Structure 1
Amino acid sequence: MVGVGLLLSDAPRSVPPEQQFQDILRIVGEAEQNGFDHIAIGQHFLYGDLRWLQPVPLLARLAAHVGPDTRLVTQIMIGPLYHPVMLAEEIATLDIVTEGRLIFGVGVGYKSDEFDNLGVPFSERGSRLNEMLELMPRLWTEDVVSHHGTHWDLDGVEPHLRPVQRPHPPIWVGAHAMAGVRRAGRFADGYAVPPGTPPAEVARRYRVVRDLFAERGKPFGPQPLRRNIMIADSKEAAVSEYARVAQSRYISYAQRGHELYDAEKMREEFAESIKGHVVLGNPDDVVAELTELVTTLPVSPLLVRPQWPTMDAEETVAVIRRMGRDLLPSILPLPARSEIPEHLGAPAEEAGAGR
């Protein structure tokens, strides 16, 4: 069956961190009551006027707050900012604390100032993550590890932490660029698709991942996919509400260096600019579009974001309850498919180069 996950949000620094945490506990509780079976949180550092609670300690705390069938997801951590030994031990510990319910989502990051502030060359983020994804599974599974790579050297170290899940927690790689898609195919267990990716492009990317899985002897199955969603009584109301809660965030993405967004267009032509980046409309519209998506493509879990920094906990709870009433009862019973439809998207050979 198709899983459905909730993506937790950052919050304005004007909200006290203690209140942010209490709001998260309430939001997560509402999410479980309304049928969500994955809870995910991303990561940023020194984020200006917004605040992220860091995913490892937060998910460790949430492990005691959610039920035994709820998966906890780092979606995503900025891998190249870490030493691989440190991150491997953090993730192994988190898998132990969550009693084997962890999914480790990781990516290269896109904000150069985070790398500058932490003394990591931004230009090396891809090669660093590749090397980490080669090394970390060894640190989770081998008794003695020697590694001599481009960025790190280990000589006969003896790892002392192993995760609960064997051989290790599922690894998802999130990426916009095709280089990241190939990284997922080469090193990971899943490719976490960004929210604005059109279905034909999803299929094209899935073929790249599937073929690289095959080279490793790994079966291809349903993949995690993000979609931003807004349900209202009409499409016009949904567009208006999405602009109210999300427009400033899209502008911020553009100003912070996200290559997919143009700040000026987001200011002047928001409704036009978000076409393809969000599923919105009345309940029938949203259910129909998402049903078409998950019955056409091998998707599970479907990851949705109910909250933006402009929204308080009351507004977020109302959105979660509406999703629980109007959306999830139609999506959760659907069987998750494993095949990529041959008619959809370009052949994998045509996939272009990325960073």
Structure 2
Amino acid sequence: MVQVGLLLSDSPRSVPPEQQFQDVLRIVGEAEQAGFSHIAIGQHFLYGDLRWLQPVPLLARLAAHVGPDTKLVTQIMIGPLYHPVVLAEEIATLDIVTEGRLIFGVGLGYKSDEFDHLGIPFRERASRLDEMLELMPRLWSEDVVTHHGRHWTLNEVQPHIRPVQKPNPPIWVGAHAMPGVRRAGRFADAYAVPPETPVDEVLRRYRVVRDLFAERGKEFGCQPLRRNVMVADSREAAVAEYARVAKGRYITYAQRGLDLYDPEKLENEFADAVSGHVVLGTPDDVVEQLLDTVTALPVSPLLVRPQWPTMNADETVAVLRRMGRDVLPEVLAQPVRTGLSASGEPG
């Protein structure tokens, strides 16, 4: 059956960090009660007016808070900002602490200032991520590793931390652009689809990933796909509420380098600008749209974001409870599609 995951949000810095953490614990507990089986969190550094709790220590703490079947997901970590040895040991340790419930989601990053602050050339981020995705599985599985690459050199090093999951935790590569899709096909276990990608484009990208998996002798199965969700008593109310809680963040994304949006259109025609990837409306509307997606594509888990920084914990809990009551039962009862046919259509 289709599984559903929750994407945790960042919070305004005006919220004390200890309150943010307590809110996370409350939200995660409500999500599990509602039927969410995956808890995911992204990453940013030196983010200004908002605060991201860093995923590795937060997920380590959540491992003791959630049930034994709940998966914990880094969705996504900015891989090129790390040395691969540091990241490999962090992820291996996190897999141990989560008792094998970790999924490692990683991507390029898009904010050039983060790279500037950490002294990493922004133009090198693709080659760095490719090299680390080649190297990290070796650090997780080989007794002695020698590596001479473009960015890093290791001579007969002896890795000392291996993950619980063998040979390593599932690797999801997230990407907006086609080179990142091909990177997922070459190195990852799954391609994590961002919410802005329409269904027909998702299918095109899945074909690319499937073919590259086949070159590695890897089976193409269900893939994680992200969607933003807003449920209300009417479609008009859902549109208005989504604009209230999310419009400012979309404009900020556009201003900070995510070139998928036109700031002017977001400001003046918000509903139209985001209509292609937001699932919103009444519970029946949302169920219909989500079922259309999971019946058309081999998707699981479906990762949804019901929370934005402008929402307090009470508002988020109310959305989660409504989704648990009115939306998730039908989605969770839906059998998953298992792959693509030889022609590239859902199998």
Give TM-score, length-normalised by structure 2.
0.98
Offset, 1:47: 0.2
- The answer for unaligned runs of 5 or more in structure 2 is none
CA RMSD of aligned residues (A): 1.0
Aligned position for 1:72: 72
- Aligned pairs for 1:1-355 (under 5 A) are 1-340=1-340, 342=343
CA contact (8 A) 2:35 2:324 kept: yes
1:152-175 deviation per Cα after TM superposition (whole angstroms, max 9, x unaligned):
000000000000000000000000
Q: Distance in 2 between matches of 1:140 and 1:108?
A: 21
Kindly provide the amino acid, as one letter, of the partner of residue 102 in structure 1.
L
Aligned position for 1:349: none
Q: Distance in 2 between matches of 1:160 and 1:224?
A: 31
Offset, 1:335: 1.1
Q: Distance in 2 between matches of 1:54 and 1:186?
A: 27
Structure 1 counterpart SS, 2:64? coil
Q: Distance in 2 between matches of 1:339 and 1:169?
A: 21
Kindly provide the amino acid, as one letter, of the partner of residue 201 in structure 1.
E
Offset, 1:343: 7.5
Kindly provide the amino acid, as one letter, of the partner of residue 74 in structure 1.
T
1:303-322 deviation per Cα after TM superposition (whole angstroms, max 9, x unaligned):
00111000000000000001
CA contact (8 A) 2:79 2:106 kept: yes
Aligned position for 1:348: none
Q: Distance in 2 between matches of 1:112 and 1:338?
A: 37
Q: Distance in 2 between matches of 1:282 and 1:53?
A: 32
Q: Distance in 2 between matches of 1:114 and 1:25?
A: 28
CA contact (8 A) 1:38 1:72 kept: yes
Q: Distance in 1 between matches of 2:309 and 2:127?
A: 33
Q: Distance in 1 between matches of 2:87 and 2:339?
A: 33
Structure 1 counterpart SS, 2:206? helix
Kindly provide the amino acid, as one letter, of the partner of residue 129 in structure 1.
L
Structure 1 counterpart SS, 2:265? helix
Q: Distance in 1 between matches of 2:196 and 2:90?
A: 31
CA contact (8 A) 2:207 2:344 kept: no
Please say which of residues 40-49 and 258-267 is displaced more in the overlay: 258-267
Offset, 1:264: 1.4
1:111-130 deviation per Cα after TM superposition (whole angstroms, max 9, x unaligned):
00000000000000000000
Structure 2 counterpart SS, 1:279? strand
Kindly provide the amino acid, as one letter, of the partner of residue 294 in structure 1.
V
Q: Distance in 2 between matches of 1:196 and 1:46?
A: 25
Q: Distance in 2 between matches of 1:170 and 1:123?
A: 27
Kindly provide the amino acid, as one letter, of the partner of residue 23 in structure 2.
D
1:321-349 deviation per Cα after TM superposition (whole angstroms, max 9, x unaligned):
0110111100111111123365769xxxx
1:59-83 deviation per Cα after TM superposition (whole angstroms, max 9, x unaligned):
0000000000000000000000000
Q: Distance in 2 between matches of 1:197 and 1:258?
A: 14
CA contact (8 A) 2:175 2:194 kept: yes
Please say which of residues 255-264 and 50-59 is displaced more in the overlay: 255-264
CA contact (8 A) 1:200 1:344 kept: no
Kindly provide the amino acid, as one letter, of the partner of residue 95 in structure 2.
D
Q: Distance in 1 between matches of 2:169 and 2:139?
A: 13
CA contact (8 A) 2:10 2:53 kept: yes
Please say which of residues 32-41 and 273-282 is displaced more in the overlay: 273-282
CA contact (8 A) 1:222 1:338 kept: yes
Q: Distance in 2 between matches of 1:21 and 1:114?
A: 24
Kindly provide the amino acid, as one letter, of the partner of residue 16 in structure 2.
P
Aligned position for 1:353: none
Offset, 1:292: 1.1
Q: Distance in 2 between matches of 1:15 and 1:280?
A: 27
Q: Distance in 1 between matches of 2:249 and 2:277?
A: 13
1:22-59 deviation per Cα after TM superposition (whole angstroms, max 9, x unaligned):
00000000000110000000000000100000000000
